[in-house]
A and B are shown apart, each in its own frame.
Chain A
Amino acid sequence: MNEKEFGAKLKPWLDRSAAQVGELQATRLKAARLKALDAYREPASFGGLVGLNGLLGATRHTLLQRVLMVLPLIALVATLAVRSLNEDVDLGELDAQLLSQELPPDAFIDQDFRSWLGKSHS
């Protein structure tokens, strides 16, 4: 897997969650990024080609510098993970809708109903 392929795989994850990042978190991420950029030194470059290897693998970067470079990414992924698992963002509201609409909750755990629904989606 080359950098482009890896980037293409990672991009949807980052795009999906970027919109959900709050202002405070965005500011923190920006600050961490700027800090990482300050600590960044130009890696070895041959004919203008600089790779991920140059960014993370250069031996002249200390462990702390490397951590700072990936910190924004870690923060972003952790935020996303917490948010996605946090779907009780408003589970209460969802439950209220579920309990007050036409069908009883039993319908939604009924195997027949779930199978019809599956077919309707396919």
Chain B
Amino acid sequence: MARQIAQLIAVLAAALMLGSAVARDRDLKTPQTPWHQVPREQQRALQPVAPEWDRMPGYQQQRLMGAARKYPEMQPIQKERFEARLKDWAAMSPDQRRAARETFQGLRKLPPEKQHELRERWIQQHGGEDVGAPRSRGPSTPDYSRAPPR
């Protein structure tokens, strides 16, 4: 009995590992999209990262294009923020982007009043600086040579 359970667990673990490997492999194999093949509407939104575009890994290009697809639906202030932050966002390491997404998703799980409280607290602590624009965080030209997935 114990042997059968162990076999079943081994099968489950193997299936999980297989799934994970497939996803990673797919990320690394995502082909690059040349700038001229990016739809015009998305090119407009992605203009701030145009100079670095051809050096970005394919999976990052795909995700930026996914974000740019939402650009036409944004309010003017949101478009302004998007444009101002895009370059620094693309320059973050994959780990930083993943951490930022996780924190952002964590924030969205809080009740609105709590979210507001945390936002206000952060803005106050950062001296009411223009939160629309990104703060400088070292070199703005990313190193795409080391590009772990995500």
Contact = CB atoms under 8 A, between A and B. Distances in A.
A94 B24 CA distance: 20
A121 B5 contact: no
B150 to A, nearest CB: 8
Contacts of A82: 19, 22-23
A113 B118 contact: yes
Interface string B1-30: 101110110011001101110111000000
Given A70-B8, A93-B66, A120 B1 contact: no
Interface string B37-80: 00000000000000000000000001111111111001000110
A118 B54 CA distance: 38
Nearest to B17: A81
B119 A99 contact: no
- Interface band, chain B: 35 or more
A38 interface: no
Contact of A92 (B20, B69, B92): B69
Interface string A55-97: 0110000000000001001100111111011101011111111
Instruction: Output the residue of A85, A104, A121 with the most chain B CB within 10 A.
Output: A104
B141 interface: no
A94 B23 contact: no
Contacts of B62: 88, 92
Given A105-B100, A113-B118, A117-B107, A96 B67 contact: yes
A86 B26 CA distance: 10
A105 B70 contact: no
Contacts of A74: 11, 15
A96 B22 contact: no
A73 B11 contact: yes
A120 B70 contact: no
B5 A1 contact: yes
Contact of B100 (A1, A78, A79, A109): A109
Interface of B: 1, 3-5, 7-8, 11-12, 15-16, 18-20, 22-24, 62-71, 74, 78-79, 81-82, 85-86, 88-89, 92, 96-97, 99-101, 103-107, 109-110, 114, 118-119, 121-123, 125, 131-135, 137, 150
Those 4 A-B pairs whose CB atoms lie nearest each other, nearest first: A92-B66, A81-B19, A100-B78, A96-B70
5 contacts: A73-B12, A81-B19, A95-B67, A109-B96, A112-B122
